[in-house]
Chains A and B, each alone.
Chain A
Amino acid sequence: MIDTVVSFEMLVEEVMQIKKNRLAPDECSGKEKRLCIATGSHGDELNGQYICYQVIRRIKQNYEDLTGIVDVYPAMNPLGLDAQTRNFPLVDVDMNTVFPGDEDGVIIDYTASKLIKDMAGADFCLDLHSSNALIREIPQVRLNDDVAETIMPYARLLNTELVWIHPSTSVRPGSLSYALNAIGVKTMVIEAGAALRIDYEYCEQIVDGIFSLMKNVGIWKGEVSEICNPIVATDGEVSFINAESSGMFVPNIKHNMWVKKGEKIGSIVNVITGSEEERIFAPCDGLVFTFREYPAIEEGALIARIFGGDRL
């Protein structure tokens, strides 16, 4: 059943609507577990769109296996998705910084507040993200450390290679995840791929993870794929590599590769002088789980994140 969660009339002849698709067993007892799958708060992220499609498609194929409620919110920022902009267009603000919102506030606060109100009472929520257009991520669950212990058993079910306990913007105060966890909805953020494209392989992997979670918490009784056992990383185990020069980044490795300490990751070249400005080497053995996607680079820009060091 498709419902409208938030609605307001736009300037001329159009109504902005945020919709959800509720999938529930034909007969409910009222005691079913409820999972929200939310995505599209960043209008340039598309992996979540495909994941929503696949989850709904798979449920519909074997509807009799559905034993709980799945609410799918594919487009929390439909105007951003339409305009291909990360932020909420009317105010140019990152929607994932304004939760829990304010029903008496401006449009973005009002929208955020309505979404939280609709998701309140659910048992679980998955907030699906891609990275931005500049860097690419392997599928990973992000958790804020205040909820890591409670959420970890569920995060391990999501078929990602990595669970990273890190206060990134997607889990900090202001995020959907933080606001929902604060009201008792166990919420996990999944990041995978890069913005403005769909990484089908990653998406299928995450869809398998979602069904694994659903099965383990009593929302699905059908067959599920075997899932991978994730690495759990904390900040001390992750090395950040940032550019110290500006220019074009030429990689020597591929994303999602294991590297050795001292291995050349890439270089930054100056296109007008034809010189190599900087050579970048791995600071430790480890897995390159974040890697630069967009070649033009400025001083300070993130090139890679490596899980490794003493932990390996």
Chain B
Amino acid sequence: MNKEVIFNMTTPFRGDYTIVGYRFGHGEPEACIIGAMRGDEFQQLYMCSQLVAKLEQIEGKNGIVANKEILVIPSLNYSSMNVGKRFWVSDSTDINRSFPGNPQGPATSRIAAAVMERVKDYRYGIQFASFYLSGNFIPHVRLLDDDTESTSLANLFGMPYILTASKRSFDVTTLNYNWKQCGTSPFSVYTGTTESIDEEMASQGVSSVLRFLTRMGIVKYHCHGGYISSIIEEDELLPIRADMPGFFRPKVTTGTDVVRGQLLAEIVDPYRGDVISRLIAPSDGVIFYHQIKPMVFQNSVVFRMIRKIHS
């Protein structure tokens, strides 16, 4: 394992800011894994740390295939994590809305440019991603489009689901979109949580990456075969909204198999304590996402369901 500096700058009050990566093996740039890009992505940083530990073990047993190189960059934004902020400390910009970056631009743009320059030649790019909504998801691999090649490759992670999504306006400024422009095959790996650690899902995420690296002939590692992934389109996820505001009392969680008419959650009046709304499953399916805050707004999306499928 070699530690290398990807980017360095000075800050006005906190000394140097340095982004580092851990390189395993030598030769062709095969796979690059990137962890936390925001200051609240604890699960994503944790997964990277576990992956680095595993790859170090694998390398120690000569398990990195000859002439193959893997790079892991655990965090692009520890500066914000250290002070409890989500976005860049000095100007609240988002590194994952700054790609492909500009080496002469502001700090987040310089970081994006430096990272892009270092990672653009890798064959596969894997980001441990978080969603902008706080809540829990079923672990999945997300793709920006559904071309057959990407979907086939995504299957090799052995995650329960592959989610394909249409491009949104901001996607052009994300790492994965720009990776794709450079010829890299990008994948976003989601493992349920962001601000807290879910050990089991983190382990599932790390295993999925090792499985992918094994199947692509980059590492030699014996792992469980994983799932044959179900492919779903993001637009097909059924949003379930809170029709009233109040305390959110969920009766199901992510991965729960539900049937039409089943009680999903109750909304409780914040002053009087009575149940003012019951959210009912409109279809059979599986809960893909649920919000985790104690209270909800009227009209907020509290669940997303995969329709007419059973876990």
Which residue of chain B has its CB nearest to the CB of A172? B169
A interface size (C-beta, 8 A): 39
Beta-carbon contact of B12 and A297 below 8 Å: yes
- What are 5 contact pairs spanning A and B, CB under 8 A? A11-B246, A87-B92, A242-B104, A246-B11, A246-B12
Beta-carbon contact of B12 and A296 below 8 Å: yes
Beta-carbon contact of B239 and A173 below 8 Å: no
Hey, which chain A residues are within 8 Å of B172, CB to CB? 173
Q: B227 near A: Cβ within 8 Å?
A: no
Q: Mark B107-129, 1 if CB is under 8 A from A, else 0.
A: 10110000000000000000000
Q: B300 near A: Cβ within 8 Å?
A: yes
Q: A132 near B: Cβ within 8 Å?
A: yes
Q: B91 near A: Cβ within 8 Å?
A: yes
Hey, which chain A residues are within 8 Å of B170, CB to CB? 97, 174
Beta-carbon contact of B297 and A11 below 8 Å: yes
Beta-carbon contact of B297 and A90 below 8 Å: yes
Give residues 288-312 of A contacting B (CB, 8 Å).
Answer: 296-302
Beta-carbon contact of A301 and B169 below 8 Å: no
Hey, which chain A residues are within 8 Å of B225, CB to CB? none
Cα A110 to Cα B241 with chains together (Å): 12
Q: A104 near B: Cβ within 8 Å?
A: yes
Q: B301 near A: Cβ within 8 Å?
A: yes
Q: A227 near B: Cβ within 8 Å?
A: no
Q: A134 near B: Cβ within 8 Å?
A: yes
Cα A174 to Cα B167 with chains together (Å): 12
Beta-carbon contact of B297 and A300 below 8 Å: no
9 closest A-B pairs by CB: A174-B169, A173-B169, A9-B298, A9-B245, A11-B295, A300-B107, A246-B12, A299-B9, A246-B10
Q: B223 near A: Cβ within 8 Å?
A: no
Interface size class of B (residues with CB under 8 A): 35 or more
Q: B68 near A: Cβ within 8 Å?
A: no
Hey, which chain B residues are within 8 Å of A97, CB to CB? 97, 169-170
Across the A-B interface, how many residue pairs have beta carbons closer than 8 Å? 97
Cα A127 to Cα B237 with chains together (Å): 33
Q: Mark B223-234, 1 if CB is under 8 A from A, else 0.
A: 000000000000
Beta-carbon contact of B91 and A134 below 8 Å: yes
- Mostly, the B contact residues are loop
Q: B244 near A: Cβ within 8 Å?
A: yes
Q: A106 near B: Cβ within 8 Å?
A: yes
Q: Mark B288-311, 1 if CB is under 8 A from A, else 0.
A: 000000011111110000000000
Cα A8 to Cα B296 with chains together (Å): 11
Beta-carbon contact of A105 and B301 below 8 Å: yes
Hey, which chain B residues are within 8 Å of A93, CB to CB? 132
Which residue of chain A has its CB nearest to the CB of B269? A12
Beta-carbon contact of B299 and A92 below 8 Å: no
Cα A11 to Cα B86 with chains together (Å): 23
Question: In whole Å, how far is B38's beta carbon from the nearest beta carbon of chain A?
Answer: 10
A247: contacting residue among B12, B105, B110, CB under 8 A: B12
Beta-carbon contact of A11 and B9 below 8 Å: no
Hey, which chain A residues are within 8 Å of B107, CB to CB? 298-301
Q: A248 near B: Cβ within 8 Å?
A: yes
Cα A199 to Cα B281 with chains together (Å): 52
Q: B217 near A: Cβ within 8 Å?
A: no
Beta-carbon contact of A91 and B132 below 8 Å: yes
Q: B106 near A: Cβ within 8 Å?
A: yes
B300: contacting residue among A104, A107, A299, CB under 8 A: A107
Give residues 186-234 of A contacting B (CB, 8 Å).
Answer: none
Question: In whole Å, how far is A136's beta carbon from the nearest beta carbon of chain B?
Answer: 15
Q: Mark A72-116, 1 if CB is under 8 A from B, else 0.
A: 000000000000001100111100011000001111001000000
Hey, which chain B residues are within 8 Å of A54, CB to CB? none
A92: contacting residue among B13, B86, B90, B110, CB under 8 A: B86
Cα A134 to Cα B92 with chains together (Å): 11
Hey, which chain A residues are within 8 Å of B5, CB to CB? none
Hey, which chain A residues are within 8 Å of B83, CB to CB? none
Q: A256 near B: Cβ within 8 Å?
A: no
Q: A53 near B: Cβ within 8 Å?
A: no
Hey, which chain A residues are within 8 Å of B295, CB to CB? 11-12
Beta-carbon contact of B11 and A104 below 8 Å: no
Question: In whole Å, how far is A275's beta carbon from the nearest beta carbon of chain B?
Answer: 13
Cα A297 to Cα B84 with chains together (Å): 20
Hey, which chain A residues are within 8 Å of B300, CB to CB? 8, 106-107
